[in-house]
């Protein structure tokens, strides 16, 4: 029995293992140096204690192992009771299949498991546990009791691991494992524990992790006799998987987590990725809300973290950390779960396969502009109800009584009857009135890669004639505020758009699409070339990087030893300040390694160029221009964030406005 002779084993351990200072110091004068000692086999107990060092780091590790066992036993209800942050007691009770009386002592033995029997089982393992060492390791460093009653057994039996005593007790079907006084036999390790509050927080985190993966199981956590958290099973017969998952995530992580998040469902080859990911604006400074499960097991994995990061790259800048709960399901034979004693790391047969599946799963969802999915429900944060699967209503309908306005409604602005005019023909742009035009005029560029919301002019006109706001997700422009924001009315209420941020994204996506298609950016010669006094570095780069500049739609040539002239700029950026654009691009090229610049720094350069092409603050837009911008946003990937990851628009619902004015109270 694992616990018999623990004290003895511990003393032996201290005598032979260097690094346990008190004993070594006392024995120092009489004990031979470790190298002169004879080789001997370690006693079983000591082997278990050493193994326990890898498996049981702190109370939370015990919680994880015991929860794994409960889930492997098919439990639908698990209760965790703790004393002193789990240091004095961890008791985990389940209603799973139980352990037969005769097998109780076996369960505590090292390398004894019911989960695998041969190499093939190991390679295809689908249970949480399989190494058969958790209970043995836990027994080696605590005072453990195992209490269980399987179906068909009249009594439950309790096995005291320390004394080896086995006696009948009363219990319903299932198992309870009680772990008392963790590390009592290894005081050196006990010293490494943090405060009870910290250990408790780690234990709760462990339960949260498991709860996130199993919405079909109810969990409860008690500490010092108080109920800390209780999460009822949300996946019950008749309930859809994604809904149950969203509910469980809301219960465990808070409704404010789920609201600004998007559902993931993607299969690529043999890999399926599901779950929910936070919108870019929900990102945090810490990585504490990143949960990844592979075949149901919580893991930390660099490949997946990297894939997620690259999917967010274009919408989340700086050090912000996205939040996500991802479940990767794959053929177990393409995965090695037996590479880490606590099973928190895995190894994939094909890293690329996993990386791509995860990246594509997220990219696809992050790229879709969300304006079209705003539900009519009241919203607190931007885009909120759009994200909830429970609340998505793809075709917003006017719901607020005040929304349906009669023909007497004052006409604000005029309908954009033919949007293609705005995208395509520069002539239309020149017709725009420009009361104040200090900066380059805003160019409503041709865009709309996958027009989803563009209505025909006739449709829009019919709506307008009926006095109803056409169901454009971002609504109809009403006015411009302080030269910075566009105010628009949609069926839910008021939309506020940061016009520079939004336009910057539109231009950026357009530039990227052109470059990604393998063509050079369409270039437009300047009627009057722009000349500027260049630095020596600018001259060198302009000369060396002619090909790259050509790819970026720029033609920059030296006309003297100190002067460069810009002869052509990308057509998309035709209205921007050519000299500033040229200097910025030369600076970017100088900062990057010439040979790899186009691939690696491409997006950075394009983003910088887009900033030049985007309409500036304080530039007055006509209503038609504003409407054109709104329609472009609805049809541009990632248009909910600017190139720096900030939101480009916000919705203020009528209900929120009513609340502001205390209406209806």
From the CB of residue 68, how many other CB atoms can be counted at a distance below 10 Å?
Answer: 19
Q: Which residues pair with 565 in a beta bridge?
A: 531, 557
H helices of 73-186, in order, are: 104-107, 119-123, 134-140
Distance in Å, CB of 299 to ligand ADP, minimum: 16
Contacts of 609 (CB under 8 A, 6+ apart): 507, 511, 552, 570, 573, 581, 584, 585
180/360 with CB nearer ligand ADP: 180
Q: How far is the CB of 336 from ligand ADP (least distance, A)?
A: 16
Binding mask 160-199 for Mg ion (x = CB under 5 A): ----------------------------------------
Partner that binds at residue 492, options Mg ion, ligand ADP, none, CB closer than 5 to 8 Å by kind: none
Residue number, 97 or 356, with CB nearest to ligand ADP: 97
* Partner in contact with 132, chosen from Mg ion, ligand ADP, none, beta carbon below 5 to 8 Å by kind: ligand ADP
Query: Rule CB under 6 A: which of 167-196 touch ligand ADP?
Result: 175
Decide if residue 157 touches ligand ADP (CB under 6 A).
no
Nearer to Mg ion, 138 or 246 (CB): 138
Which of 286, 355, 368 minimizes the C-alpha distance to 326? 355
Q: Does 129 bind ligand ADP (CB under 6 A)?
A: yes
Tell me which residue of 582, 543, 570 sits closest to 559, measured CA to CA: 543
> CA–CA distance from 75 to each of 78, 198, 450 (Å)?
7, 28, 48
Measured from the CB atom, is 114 or 289 closer to ligand ADP? 114
CB of 150 closer than 8 Å to CB of 144 = no
Q: Which CB, 134 or 552, lies closer to Mg ion?
A: 134
Closest residue by Cα to residue 257 from 235, 234, 297, 284: 284
CB atoms within 10 A of CB 94: 27
73 scored as a contact of ligand ADP (CB under 6 A): yes
Q: Which stretch binds ligand ADP (CB under 6 A): 67-75, 352-360, 482-490, 615-623?
A: 67-75
Residue closer to ligand ADP, measured from CB, 112 or 425: 112
Q: Which of 129, 322, 613, 645 is the binder for Mg ion (CB under 5 A)? A: 129
Q: Scan residues 9-68 and list those touching Mg ion (CB under 5 A).
A: 68
Among 107, 206, 597, 609, which residue interacts with ligand ADP (rule: CB under 6 A)? 107
Q: Does 134 engage in binding with ligand ADP (CB under 6 A)?
A: yes
Residues in region 66-85 near Mg ion by CB under 5 A: 68-69
Which residue of this chain has its Cβ atom nearest to ligand ADP in the complex? 129
Q: Which residue of 3, 48, 95, 113 would you call a contact of ligand ADP, by CB under 6 A? A: 113
Planar angle of CA 419, 423, 427, nearest 5 degrees: 100
CA atoms within 13 A on the CB side of 47: 11
Asked if residue 577 binds ligand ADP (CB under 6 A), the reply is: no
Residue of the chain from 132, 296, 441, 457 that contacts ligand ADP (CB under 6 A): 132
Q: Is 153 in the site for ligand ADP (CB under 6 A)?
A: no
By C-beta, is 112 or 461 nearer to Mg ion?
A: 112
C-alpha 519 chain-centroid distance: 33
Give me the least distance between CB of 344 and Mg ion, in Å please: 14
Q: Does 61 bind ligand ADP (CB under 6 A)?
A: no
**341 makes contact with ligand ADP (CB under 6 A):** no
CA 369 vs CA 226, 514, 631: distances in Å: 45, 19, 11
User: If you write DSSP's letter for every residue of 8-70 in order, what string do you get?
Assistant: HHHHHHHHH-TT-HHHHHHHTTTSPPGGGSPP-PPPHHHHHHHHHHHH-SSHHHHHHHHHHHH
Residue 158 in contact with ligand ADP, rule: CB under 6 A: no
- In the set 99, 362, 488, 629, which binds ligand ADP (CB under 6 A)? 99
- Helix, strand, coil percentages (3-state) for the chain, rounded to 5, are 40, 20, 40
CB of 469 to Mg ion, least distance (A): 59
CB of 185 to Mg ion, least distance (A): 21
Closest-CA residue to 161 (of 82, 45, 81): 45
CB burial string 413-448: b at 16+ within 10 A, e below: bebbeebebbbeeeebbeebeeeeeeebebbbbebb
Q: How many CA atoms lie within 13 A of 655 on its CB side?
A: 11
Binding site for ligand ADP (CB under 6 A): 65, 69-70, 73, 94, 96-99, 107, 112-115, 129-136, 175
Binding site for Mg ion (CB under 5 A): 68-69, 129, 134
């Amino acid at each position: 029995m694992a616990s018999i002779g623990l004290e003895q084993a511990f003393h032996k351990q201290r005598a032979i293992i260097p690094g346990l200072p008190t004993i070594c110091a006392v024995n120092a004068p009489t004990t031979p140096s470790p190298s002169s000692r004879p080789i001997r086999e370690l006693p079983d107990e000591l082997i278990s204690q050493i193994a326990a060092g890898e498996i049981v780091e702190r109370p939370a590790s015990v919680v994880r192992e015991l929860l794994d066992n409960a889930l492997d036993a098919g439990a639908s209800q698990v209760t965790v009771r703790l004393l002193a942050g789990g240091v004095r007691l961890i008791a985990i009770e389940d209603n799973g299949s139980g352990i037969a009386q005769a097998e109780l002592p076996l369960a505590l033995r090292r390398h004894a498991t019911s989960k695998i029997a041969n190499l093939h089982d190991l390679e295809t393992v689908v249970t949480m546990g399989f190494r058969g060492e958790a209970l043995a390791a836990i027994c080696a460093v605590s005072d453990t009791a195992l209490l269980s009653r399987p179906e068909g057994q009249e009594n439950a039996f309790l096995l005291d691991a320390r004394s080896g005593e086995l006696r009948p007790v009363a219990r319903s079907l299932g198992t309870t494992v009680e772990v008392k006084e963790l590390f009592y036999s290894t005081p050196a390790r006990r010293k490494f524990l943090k405060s009870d509050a910290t250990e408790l927080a780690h234990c709760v985190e462990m339960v949260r992790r498991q709860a996130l993966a199993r919405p079909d199981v109810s969990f409860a956590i008690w500490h010092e006799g108080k109920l800390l958290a209780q999460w009822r099973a949300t996946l019950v017969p008749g309930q859809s998987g994604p809904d149950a998952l969203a509910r469980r995530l809301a219960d465990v992580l808070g409704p404010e987590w789920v609201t600004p998040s998007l559902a993931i469902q993607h299969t690529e080859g043999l890999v399926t990725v599901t779950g929910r990911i936070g919108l870019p604006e929900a990102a945090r400074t810490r990585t504490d809300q990143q949960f990844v499960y592979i075949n149901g097991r919580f893991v930390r994995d660099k490949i997946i973290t990297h894939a997620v990061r690259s999917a967010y790259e274009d919408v989340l800048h700086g050090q912000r950390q996205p939040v996500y709960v991802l479940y990767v399901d794959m053929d177990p034979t393409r995965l090695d779960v037996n590479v880490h004693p606590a099973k928190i790391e895995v190894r994939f047969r094909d890293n690329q396969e996993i990386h791509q599946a995860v990246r594509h799963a997220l990219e696809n969802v992050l790229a879709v502009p969300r304006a079209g999915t705003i539900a009519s429900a009241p919203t607190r944060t931007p885009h909120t109800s759009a994200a909830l699967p429970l609340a998505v209503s793809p075709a917003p309908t006017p719901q607020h009584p005040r929304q349906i306005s009669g023909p007497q409604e004052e006409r604000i602005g005029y309908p954009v009857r033919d949007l293609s005019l705005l995208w395509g023909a520069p002539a239309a742009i020149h017709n725009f009135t420009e009361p104040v035009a200090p900066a380059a005029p805003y160019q409503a560029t041709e865009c709309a890669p996958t027009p989803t919301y563009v209505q025909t002019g006739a449709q829009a006109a019919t709506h307008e004639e009926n006095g109803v706001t056409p169901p454009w997700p971002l609504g109809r422009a009403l006015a411009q505020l302080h030269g910075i924001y566009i105010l628009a009315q949609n069926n839910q209420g008021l939309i506020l758009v940061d016009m520079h941020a939004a336009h910057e994204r539109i231009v950026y996506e357009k530039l990227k699409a052109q470059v990604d298609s393998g063509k050079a950016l369409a270039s437009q010669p300047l009627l009057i070339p722009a000349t500027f006094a260049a630095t020596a570095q600018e001259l060198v780069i302009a000369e060396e990087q002619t090909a790259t500049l050509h790819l970026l739609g720029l033609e920059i040539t030296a006309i003297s030893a100190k002067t460069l002239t810009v002869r052509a700029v990308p057509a998309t950026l035709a209205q921007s300040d050519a000299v500033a654009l040229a200097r910025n691009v030369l600076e970017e090229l100088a900062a990057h390694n010439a040979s790899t610049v186009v691939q690696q720094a491409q997006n950075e350069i394009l983003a910088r160029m887009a900033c030049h092409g985007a309409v500036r603050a304080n530039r007055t837009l006509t209503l038609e221009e504003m409407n054109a911008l709104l329609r472009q946003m609805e049809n541009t990937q990632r248009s909910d964030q600017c190139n720096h990851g900030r939101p480009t628009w916000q919705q203020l619902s009528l209900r929120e406005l009513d609340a502001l004015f205390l209406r209806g109270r």
